[in-house]
Structure 1
């Protein structure tokens, strides 16, 4: 029976399965393991099942035991793992795509709605029990029949577009490649982010974190957005330059921002917290029971297939 390290707790349904299939070392305290703990606990393991909060940079990977042959990442993204360094060590890296598409797309729409309809400010007024209704009280922006720009038209981006069509929104998108007409479903393709931003009264960020997308929304590119645009990020925090975004929110260039992800999670730039036009969530994109079970099963599937001597379909290197 192959031995694996599981770096954080899984849901009971997943833990039962992983214990049935493998000699698994579980993180009973469910704390974030230090690099030293990961290296020590995995020293005689054949594989590691990790979550996105565990960093596997080049230095950590270089110190892993030679027995470790696979890192199964419990996330659709895998920017927490240095894939090139893993490949140099002969370590396969997998992720869990597809299974969190709907849950994350739902959160993207929630971020757009929460930000545009000033839900955070509304909650504060309701709790204070001192608000008075008037015709201009907490006036927000309506999504109906507006232009939605989607940065990253993969599975999640397309699911966001599907939901946004229910609001009668005109869909624009930027992707590495233009989609086929049966996937576009009438969405308008932009070859570059700049031309997308110009059309985006609402902008949903759903692209992966790469060297090219880091700080893609910055002081210069924010200028291309229409005045009073609403932005939502359910992808990765480092796609937004925080300093530039905070300034744009203060100036009114950005009407409101919805964040489910941000730089330095769980810490956040303190200047954000001084702003009322921020709708903030603690990385809830995949946080439904069905989705989390499916993510665990997908990671376990990848381990099982790999140890049968086959290439997992979710291998990214």
Structure 2
């Protein structure tokens, strides 16, 4: 008699090819509407699923995990970040958590570089002028932005995403500086042409552009708080393609409005889709709807990693992308 197939619940719509393959491999329940599950729906799914496939929009906390059914043994997250999952509690209850690292670093770095250029060259303002029909022709002093070649880029978090940003920025002639929990090996620093700063305060005070590439953890929440933002040059810009919670968004908005920071490029926000209207109204910001990893290729590769993690688990082995709580 063939072994019983794992019951898998997917919380959001995924690319059609990924959904089709999940249905082939497992007893899969797909999401009909492309909307986040309610807390009640998540709780119900956790009562009967062997494997839950959530995304960043699904908050899975200790209280939810406490009521999960005994059969739930794997949370195969569709995405690299797992700050929306209480990983430590999950492991305490015998539930493994996997993720999809290393898939969209290049895609996210493309967006970070685009935001750097967009803010420094005032692209959002130019787009608005053209779309509103306000352009009256070229003049020598109109829409003057800044040159990025020769400017200092500070990278906060030099993991795969940060390194991908560094390679792109170096090709544009920027000087690469970084702050990281651990210093890179000398050969990696040499390859990237990167200078390490042990002190984040000292680095942010000296760079012209700051790129946020670290994950959201308890230790990085509001890492860029009001005090640290005030250390930045008034001519500097800040770009965030990581997690919105790393920046104190209210403090950033106040400083942008006051001209204490020249501009910001944001793909992520502290309160998800609830963006501060004062921030949206500013001319010196470029805002994107969390599209850092939004490529067809990346989304399919993420799905493939999810399936590999589940299949490996089903075969009685450790998922290759197992998340270890003390790392996060």
Cα offset for 1:134? Answer: 2.1
Determine if the alignment matches structure 1 residue 285 to structure 2 residue 289: no
Cα offset for 1:128? Answer: 2.0
Contact 1:202 1:229 in 2 (8 A): yes
Cα offset for 1:60? Answer: 1.2
Cα offset for 1:131? Answer: 2.1
Determine if the alignment matches structure 1 residue 24 to structure 2 residue 28: yes
Match of 1:124 among 128, 137, 161: 128
Cα distance in 1 for partners of 2:178, 2:46 equals 42
Match for residue 193 of structure 1? 200
Structure 1 segment 61-76 matched on structure 2, within 5 A: 61-76=65-80
Cα distance in 2 for partners of 1:211, 1:42 equals 26
Cα offset for 1:61? Answer: 1.2
Cα distance in 1 for partners of 2:259, 2:49 equals 53
Cα distance in 1 for partners of 2:230, 2:237 equals 13
Determine if the alignment matches structure 1 residue 103 to structure 2 residue 107: yes
Match for residue 182 of structure 1? 187
Structure 1 segment 1-317 matched on structure 2, within 5 A: 1-132=5-136, 133-184=138-189, 185=191, 186-317=193-324
Give the match's secondary structure for 2:277. coil
Contact 2:176 2:194 in 1 (8 A): yes
Contact 1:71 1:93 in 2 (8 A): yes
Cα distance in 2 for partners of 1:113, 1:61 equals 43
1:235-256 CA-partner distances (Å, limit 9, x unpaired): 0000110121011111212111
Cα distance in 1 for partners of 2:246, 2:78 equals 21
Cα distance in 1 for partners of 2:297, 2:161 equals 17
Give the match's secondary structure for 2:127. helix
Cα distance in 2 for partners of 1:14, 1:126 equals 39
Cα offset for 1:213? Answer: 1.0
Cα distance in 2 for partners of 1:89, 1:316 equals 15
1:189-209 CA-partner distances (Å, limit 9, x unpaired): 011211220221011100010
Give the match's secondary structure for 1:188. strand
Calculate the TM-score normalised by the size of structure 1: 0.97
In the alignment of these two chains, the number of paired residues is 317
Give the match's secondary structure for 1:217. coil
Contact 2:280 2:287 in 1 (8 A): no
Contact 2:121 2:146 in 1 (8 A): yes
Contact 1:172 1:199 in 2 (8 A): no
Give the match's secondary structure for 2:147. coil
Cα offset for 1:64? Answer: 1.2
Structure 1's unaligned 5+ residue stretches are none
Structure 2's unaligned 5+ residue stretches are none
